[in-house]
C-alpha cells in the first residue's frame, strides 16, 4: 500500500489524457502538451493531449493523475518516486510523483495566497475560454 503523505493534502484537480482536441486548450511548448484550464471546468478536470515528441515521462503521458495543493512539495513527496522534479508554472510550483502502488500524483505549491484564491474561483464566474494556437513551431 502507498505511503501516507507527511503534509496535508487539498484536492486541486484531476488530469485526464486524451487524443482529441478540447475547447479552450492551450499549448505548453516546454512539455509539448495541449492542456485545458482546470479552474474553469465545473468538475476541475484538466485535459492533457501530448505531442508525440513530448519529453514528459510515460506514466505522466499515459495515466490520469490526481493533483493536490500542498504547503511544501518536498515534504508531501517523501517516499514517492519522482516522475518530474518540481518546476515553475507561473503562480504555482508543481511536481509529479508515483506512489508505490502505481498512482500518478501531482503536487502543487502556490507562491502566494492570491493565486490560491483565483484557483478556487467558481467556474460559472469565468469567461468561456477560446482555443489558443501553438506558441512554437
CA atoms within 13 Å, Cβ hemisphere of 30? 4
Q: What does the pLDDT profile of the chain (137 residues) look like in tens digits?
A: 445 666 689 999 999 999 999 999 999 998 999 999 999 999 999 999 999 999 999 999 999 999 999 999 999 999 999 999 999 988 999 999 999 999 999 999 999 865 555 555 433 323 333 333 333 33
Model-level pTM? 0.78
Sign (positive or negative) of CA dihedral 49, 58, 15, 18: positive
Overall fold of domain 10-125: 2,3-Dihydroxybiphenyl 1,2-Dioxygenase; domain 1 (3.10.180)
- How is residue 64 written as a grid cell? 490520469
CB 108 within 8 A of CB 116: no
Amino acid at each position: 500500500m502507498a505511503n501516507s503523505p507527511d503534509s496535508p493534502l487539498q484536492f486541486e484537480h484531476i488530469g485526464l489524457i486524451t487524443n482529441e482536441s478540447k475547447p479552450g486548450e492551450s499549448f505548453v511548448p516546454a512539455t509539448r502538451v495541449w492542456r485545458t484550464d482546470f479552474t474553469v471546468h465545473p468538475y476541475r478536470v484538466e485535459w492533457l493531449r501530448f505531442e508525440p515528441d513530448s519529453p514528459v515521462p510515460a506514466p505522466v503521458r499515459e495515466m490520469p493523475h490526481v493533483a493536490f495543493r500542498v504547503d511544501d512539495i518536498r515534504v508531501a513527496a517523501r517516499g514517492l518516486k519522482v516522475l518530474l522534479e518540481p518546476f515553475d508554472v507561473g503562480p504555482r510550483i508543481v511536481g509529479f510523483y508515483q506512489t508505490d502502488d502505481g498512482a500518478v500524483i501531482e503536487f502543487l505549491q502556490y507562491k502566494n495566497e492570491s493565486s490560491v484564491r483565483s484557483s478556487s474561483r467558481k467556474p460559472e464566474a469565468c469567461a468561456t475560454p477560446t482555443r489558443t494556437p501553438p506558441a512554437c513551431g
